[in-house]
Amino acid sequence: MPFTNPIPVRLKEARKKAKLSQKSLGESIGMDESSASPRMNQYEKGKHTPDVQTLKAIADKLGVPLNYFFCEDDSSAELACLIAQLTESERKKLIAALSRE
């Protein structure tokens, strides 16, 4: 199966959910007013790939974990967000439960 970079889809999905425009999201992480919108658009179109530091800033702004952007299917993306909300002790319990199965 050909590989599709998951970043564009995830980025657009999380930005829409946060009800932010490409311009306001870009500006909120420090991009110039004039370049924020085209840069964010290029990321969502897959024309350019943001570097890890930029993705981390976007993730923090949108309230998703960094690894969310690299989830290749919707269910693992949703789980990445849910797991990010768990405490360390809840995660350990979940690891134990899934390891038993």
- Within residues 18-37, the interface with its own copies by CB under 8 A covers none
Distance CA 93, CA 77 (A): 20
Distance CA 84, CA 92 (A): 13
Interface pick for its own copies out of 5, 16, 18, 48 (rule CB under 8 A): 5
9 touches its own copies (CB under 8 A): no
Tokens of 57: 């800033």
Tokens of 30: 């420090």
Residue 35's identity, in one-letter code, is S
72 touches its own copies (CB under 8 A): yes
Residues at the site binding its own copies, with contacts judged by CB under 8 A:
3, 5-7, 49, 51-53, 56, 65-73, 75-76, 78-80, 82-84, 86, 88, 91-92, 94-95, 98-99
